[in-house]
Structure 1
Amino acid sequence: MQMIGFFLLDYHEDMSFGWTSIRAGYAGSISGLMVIQFALIAINLMKQADDVNDLTANTITVLFFVHSLTKYFYFALRRGKFYRTLATWNNANSHPLFSENHSRHHATAVASMRRLVIYVTSATVISGFAWTIITFIGDSVHETADPENANETILEEVPRLMLRSWYPWNALSGGGYIVSFIIQIIWLFLALLHAMMMDTMFCCWLIYTCEQLIHLKEIMKPLMELSASLDTLVPHSAELFRAVSATANNPIPSGDSEGIRAIYSNQHDFSNFRLNTGTLANVNSGSVGPNGLTKKQEILVRSAIKYWVERHKHVVRFVGNIGDTYGSALLLHMLTSTVTLTLLAYQATKVSKSSY
Structure 2
Amino acid sequence: MQKIKMHGLVGDLWPNIRLMQLTGHWLLEYHEETGGMVRLIRLGFCWLTTFLVTFQFAFLACFLILDTYDADQMAAATITTLFFLHSITKFAYFAIRSKYFYRTLGAWNQVNSHPLFAESNARHRATALSRMRKLLMIIGSITILSVLAWTTVTFLSDPHREITDPDNENLTITVEIPQLMVDAWYPWDAKHGMTYFLTFVYQLYWLFISLSHANLLDILFCSFVIFACEQLKHLKEILQPLMELSATLDSVVPNSGDLFRASSTGSNMPLITNDNTNDFDIRGIYSNRADFNGFNNGGVATVNGGGGIGPNGLTKKQELLVRSAIKYWVERHKHVVKFVSSIGDAYGSALLLHMLTSTVTLTLLAYQATKIEGVDVYASTVIGYLLYTLGQVFVFCIHGNELIEESSSVMEAAYSCHWYDGSEEAKTFVQIVCQQCQKSLTVSGAKFFTVSLDLFASVLGAVVTYFMVLVQLK
The TM-score bracket by the shorter chain reads: 0.7 to 0.9
Task: Pick from 16, 32, 40 the counterpart of residue 21 of structure 1.
Answer: 40
Task: Quote the Cα distance in structure 1 between the aligned partners of 2:77 and 2:296.
Answer: 70
User: Structure 1, residues 30-53: CA drift from partner, whole Å, max 9, x if none?
Assistant: 011011000011101111343111
SS of the residue aligned with 2:161? strand
Once the two structures are TM-superposed, the CA of residue 191 in structure 1 deviates from its matched residue by: 0.7
Answering whether residue 379 of structure 2 is matched by residue 344 of structure 1, we say: no
State the 1:150 CA deviation: 3.2
Q: 1:167, CA displacement in angstroms?
A: 1.0
CA contact (8 A) 1:146 1:153 kept: yes
Structure-2 separation of matches of 1:266 and 1:18: 44
AA paired with 1:198? Answer: L
Is 1:314 aligned with 2:335? Answer: yes
Rate the CA distance shift 1:46–1:308 in 2: closer, same or farther, 3 A. same
Of 86-95 and 53-62, more deviation after overlay is shown by: 86-95
Structure 2 Cα separation of the partners of residues 73 and 260 of structure 1: 46
Gaps of 5+ in 2: 1-19, 251-292, 374-470
Tell me which residue corresponds to 1:125. Answer: 144
Deviation sequence 1:44-85 (CA, Å, 0-9, x none): 111134311111110110000000111111100000000011
Three-state SS of the structure 2 residue aligned to 1:90 is coil
Distance across 2 between alignment mates of 1:260 and 1:10: 37
Distance in 2, Cα, partners of 1:146 & 1:154: 6
Instruction: Flag the 1:321–1:123 CA change in 2: closer, same or farther, 3 A.
Output: same
Distance 1:300 1:176 in 2: 72
Q: Equivalences for 1:193-204 in 2 at 5 Å? A: 193-204=212-223
Aligned to 2:201: 182
Shift of 1:351: 5.7
Residue 150 of structure 1 aligns to a residue whose secondary structure is strand
Q: CA deviation at 1:105?
A: 2.0
The change in CA–CA distance for 1:147 and 1:300 in structure 2 (over 3 A counts) is closer
| Residue type at the aligned position of 2:189 | N
Question: Which range moves more in the overlay, 52-61 or 217-226?
Answer: 217-226
Partner of 1:326: 347
Q: Given that residues 161 and 177 in structure 2 are in contact (C-alpha distance below 8 angstroms), is that contact kept between their aligned partners in structure 1?
A: yes
CA distance 1:261–1:187, change in 2 (3 Å): closer
Whether the aligned pair in 2 keeps the contact of 1:93 and 1:311 (CA below 8 Å) is no
In terms of mean alpha carbon deviation, does 14-23 or 337-346 score higher?
337-346
CA contact (8 A) 2:79 2:364 kept: yes
CA displacement 1:100-154 (0-9 Å, x = unmatched): 3322222222122112111211110111011000000031222212367531212
Q: Could you tell me which residue of structure 2 aligns to residue 267 of structure 1?
A: 302
1:252-311 Cα offsets, whole Å, 9 max, x none, are xxx9xxx9759xx86339x99xxxxxxxxx95427x9xxxx9xxx999967743442124
Distance in 2 (CA, whole Å) between partners of 1:45 and 1:152 is 21
Match of 1:69 in 2: 88
- Structure 2: distance between partners of 1:37 and 1:96: 54
Distance 1:96 1:226, change over 3 A: closer
Distance in 2 (alpha carbons) for counterparts of 1:47 and 1:109:
49
* Residue 42 (structure 1) aligned to one of 48, 61, 70: 61
Match in the other structure for 1:285: 311
Q: Which amino acid aligns with 1:285?
A: P
Between the aligned partners of 2:74 and 2:242, the Cα distance in structure 1 is: 63
User: Relative to 1, partners in 2 of residues 1:59 and 1:305: Cα closer, same or farther, differing over 3 Å?
Assistant: same
Aligned-pair distance for 1:14?
A: 1.7
User: Structure 1 residues 311, 46: CA separation in 2 closer, same or farther (over 3 Å shift)?
Assistant: closer
Q: If the length of structure 1 is used for normalisation, what is the TM-score?
A: 0.77
Q: Distance in 2 between matches of 1:148 and 1:77?
A: 45
Query: Any idea what SS the aligned residue of 1:309 has?
Result: helix
**Which has the higher mean CA deviation after the structures are superposed, 51-60 or 343-352?**
343-352
Deviation for aligned residue 1:169: 1.3
Contact (CA 8 Å) 1:143, 1:155: kept in 2 or not?
yes
SS at match of 2:169: coil
1:185-224 correspondence to structure 2 within 5 Å: 185-224=204-243
Q: Distance in 1 between matches of 2:336 and 2:156?
A: 51
RMSD: 3.3
Confirm or deny: 8 A CA contact 1:220 1:305 kept in the other structure. Answer: no
Q: 1:131-210 to 2 correspondence within 5 Å? A: 131-146=150-165, 149-210=168-229
CA distance in 2, matches of 1:333, 1:142: 32
Report if aligned partners of 2:67, 2:185 keep a CA contact under 8 Å in 1: no
Is the contact made by 2:116 and 2:325 (CA closer than 8 Å) also made in structure 1?
no
Moved more, 1-10 or 99-108: 99-108
Check whether the contact 2:181–2:204 (CA below 8 A) recurs between aligned residues. yes
Note the C-alpha offset of 1:196: 0.5
Tell me if structure 1 keeps the 8 A contact 2:303–2:320: no
Seen in structure 2, the aligned counterparts of structure 1 residues 92 and 196 have a Cα distance that, compared at 3 Å, is same
Residues in 2 aligned to 1:336 and 1:112: alpha-carbon distance in whole angstroms: 28
What SS is found at the alignment partner of 2:24? coil
Which residue of 1 is the match for residue 254 of structure 2?
none
Instruction: Structure 1: state its 5+ residue gaps.
Output: 232-254, 273-281
Seen in structure 2, the aligned counterparts of structure 1 residues 308 and 175 have a Cα distance that, compared at 3 Å, is: same
> Distance between the aligned counterparts of 1:14 and 1:94, measured in 2?
30
Identity of aligned residues (%): 53
1:249 equivalent in structure 2: none
Alpha-carbon offset, residue 230 of structure 1: 9.5
Contact persistence 1:4–1:193 (CA under 8 A):
yes
TM (norm. structure 2) is: 0.59
Q: How many residues align?
A: 311
Aligned with 1:2: secondary structure?
Answer: helix
Q: Give the secondary structure class of the aligned counterpart of 2:178.
A: coil
